[in-house]
Structures are given as C-alpha cells and as structure tokens.
C-alpha cells in the first residue's frame, strides 16, 4: 500500500502552540518575537520540535509546560501545516495545538524569560510563516466548539461569577449577548453549580460564585451552553 521507507525523505516535525487567555474582558493570545533564524525578530507563536521519544501530544504538552510552567492544560490539535516553503530553512511540518489557560495561573517570570506577551485576538500583527493561519483556524475551532464542549471554564478560575462567564463567552464569539437569556441557559445546565460563596471584588453588591462540576460532565459527557 505504501512504498518502502528508504526511497523517501524525512522532514522535521514541530508543534506550534496557540495559547488563549482571557484578561481585561478580552480574549488574548501568547505571542513573542523569534529569537532565532530564519525569521529572527518576527512575531511568532511559541513552538518546538518533536523529539524522537515523544508523541505529538506529548511534544505539545512539553512545549506548553516550558512556556507556562503549567501541566494538564486543556489542549487540542488544530491541524497540520505542511506547505513546502513554510519554513525558509528546512522542510518542516508543523502541528498546531490550541491551549486555553487561566491568565491568573501563569508564571509571569517564565513569560518574561521567553519574551512572550498577551496580545488581543483582534490586534494580532503579521506573524512569521503561516502562524496567522494557525491562529485563525484555532479561533474558528474555538468558536465552533464553545457551545458543545466545556472549554470555556479553562479560561477562568475555578470559582467565577456569571458576569465573568458571560464576558468570556462574548469575547470568544466577538458579540454581545443578552444577560437574561444567557443566565437562563446557565440555569438549564446542571454542571454549572452555584456555590454559597460571594465575590466582593467585582461589585459592591457582591456576585454569587459558580463552579463547573467536572465529574458530572465525565459521567454525562454531553455539554450544552
């Protein structure tokens, strides 16, 4: 079915990470300037090569951990990119991975060390190679999945107010939605539980804190926002 190995060429295989975070009511992506050739100085996603003793997913996890200091992040493969000249130096196939993190969890020292910063999704500059396409595709996927997968909670602390949840939702979709309708939908979802705790930072009156019941999701395994 497939021809023999020896007749064929090998290529470098890399992963590139689109790391989304939510802060100041905006959806943001981690971007940095390349510190190596080719493309030194250009804005770029953070990535790395896939090692011989790790799978693609493991490589993406390792690279994300290097970058953020965090483990067990929400992470999904976006797509493989393999245009012939996507890397000007060598033939490199890159697998794009999308990750969602709670900005408050990040290790600020590591971000400085890696010279990356949070950039609002609608202020993304021209990026190295095909990285703009990667971000675009990741964002499209995110928008498609937000209503049927509980991914939104990865962008928030464990306890959150409904106003925060709605802000994230609006930031991802890029449109404002009705508060009463949104809350009606939340109430219809068993997995989003009201706690007895009150958040006093965001308002004078105080807002109820909610949490996502992950165990209930693992049992039901269907989610609807």
Residues that are catalytic: 115
Interaction partner, residue 48 (DNA, a copy of itself, none; CB < 5-8 Å by kind): a copy of itself
Contact between 63 and 106 under an 8 Å Cβ cutoff? The reply is: no
Interaction partner, residue 69 (a copy of itself, DNA, none; CB < 5-8 Å by kind): none
* Binding residue for a copy of itself, selected from 70, 75, 79, 111, defined by CB under 8 A: 79
**Minimum CB separation from DNA for residue 199, in Å?**
8
Give the chain's largest Cα–Cα span: 71
Q: Is 80 in the site for a copy of itself (CB under 8 A)?
A: yes
What is the spatial distance between Cα 186 and Cα 167, in angstroms, rounded to a whole number?
Answer: 14
Q: How far is CA 45 from CA 22, 64, 79, 129, 168, in A?
A: 17, 11, 15, 10, 22
Piece in contact with DNA (CB under 7 A), picked from 6-14, 57-65, 72-80, 180-188: 180-188
User: 92 by DSSP, 3-state: which?
Assistant: strand
* Residues sharing a CB contact under 8 Å with residue 81, sequence separation 6 or more, in sequence order: 16, 93, 94, 95, 96, 130, 133, 134
Interaction partner, residue 4 (DNA, a copy of itself, none; CB < 5-8 Å by kind): a copy of itself
Residue of 52, 76, 53 whose CA lies nearest to 64: 76
**Minimum CB separation from a copy of itself for residue 121, in Å?**
20
End-to-end CA distance of the chain: 44
Q: Is 162 in the site for DNA (CB under 7 A)?
A: yes
Q: Is 165 in the site for DNA (CB under 7 A)?
A: no
What is the spatial distance between Cα 187 and Cα 184, in angstroms, rounded to a whole number?
Answer: 5
Interaction partner, residue 161 (a copy of itself, DNA, none; CB < 5-8 Å by kind): DNA
Q: Is 61 in the site for a copy of itself (CB under 8 A)?
A: no
Sites of contact with a copy of itself (CB under 8 A): 1-5, 8-14, 32-36, 44-57, 59, 77, 79-84, 89-91, 93, 95, 114
């Amino acid at each position: 079915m497939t021809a023999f190995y020896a007749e064929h060429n090998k290529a470098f295989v890399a992963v590139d990470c689109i790391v989304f975070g939510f802060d100041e009511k905006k959806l943001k992506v981690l971007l940095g300037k390349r510190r190596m050739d080719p493309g030194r100085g250009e804005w770029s996603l953070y990535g790395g090569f896939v090692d011989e003793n790790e799978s693609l997913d493991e490589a993406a996890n390792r690279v994300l951990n290097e970058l953020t200091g965090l483990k067990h992040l929400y992470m999904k493969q976006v797509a493989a990119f393999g245009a012939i000249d996507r890397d000007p130096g060598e033939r490199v196939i890159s697998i794009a991975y999308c990750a969602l993190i709670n900005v408050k969890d990040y290790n600020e020292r590591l971000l400085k060390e890696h010279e990356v910063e949070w950039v609002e999704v609608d202020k993304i500059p021209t990026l190295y190679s095909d990285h703009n396409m990667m971000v675009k595709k990741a964002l499209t996927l995110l928008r498609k999945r937000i209503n049927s997968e509980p991914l939104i909670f990865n962008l928030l602390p464990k306890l959150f107010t409904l106003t925060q949840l709605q802000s994230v939702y609006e930031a991802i979709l890029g449109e404002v939605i009705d508060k009463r309708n949104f809350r009606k939908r939340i109430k219809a979802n068993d997995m989003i539980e009201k706690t007895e705790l009150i958040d006093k930072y965001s308002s004078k009156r105080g807002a109820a804190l909610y949490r996502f019941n992950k165990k209930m999701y693992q049992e039901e395994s269907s989610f609807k926002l």
